[in-house]
Amino acid sequence: DIQMTQSPSSLSASVGDRVTITCRASLGIGSWVAWYQQKPEEAPKSLIHAASSLQNWVPSRFSGTGSGTNFTLTITSLQPEDFATYYCQQYSTYPHTFGQGTKLEI
């Protein structure tokens, strides 16, 4: 199985900050990476697919980059509603493994 290693596991930031979360795949997976946001007691929400394509409902302060084995999610100018846990997922090969998550805290 392809392992997805996210870092950091937790991150403290303030409103207005720029933050970056990284995800490393154990094998090359092209651009087959998605990013999801999850708030406490809520279902996950899809943010990015194909490493860098934003879903229609996602604000432009979110961006994704990467290909092969290294991927990043960047949030510029953090807003209060952005404090949540973020997950990467590879969908190159089954099983579609997730990273362990990054908790973004104030």
The correct pick among 69, 72, 74, 100 for binding another protein (CB under 8 A) is 100
Residue 40 engages another protein in binding (rule: CB under 8 A) = no
Residue given tokens 């720029």 in the structure block: 18
Residue 49 engages another protein in binding (rule: CB under 8 A) = yes
Sheet containing 4-7: order of strands: 4-7, 19-25, 70-75, 62-67
Instruction: Report how far residue 9's alpha carbon sits from residue 94's, in angstroms, rounded to the nearest whole number.
Output: 24
Taking only Cα atoms into account, the Rg of the chain, rounded to an integer number of angstroms, comes to 13
The correct pick among 38, 52, 72, 76 for binding another protein (CB under 8 A) is 38
* Cβ proximity to another protein, 57 vs 80, nearer residue: 57
Q: Which range touches another protein (CB under 8 A), out of 16-24, 62-70, 76-84, 88-96?
A: 88-96
Which residue type sits at 8? P
Residue 97 engages another protein in binding (rule: CB under 8 A) = yes
Binding mask 51-80 vs another protein (x if CB under 8 A, - otherwise)?
A: ----x-------------------------
For the bound state, the minimum distance from the C-beta of residue 95 to another protein, rounded and expressed in Å, comes to: 5
- E strand residue ranges, the chain: 4-7, 10-12, 19-25, 33-38, 45-49, 53-54, 62-67, 70-75, 85-90, 102-105
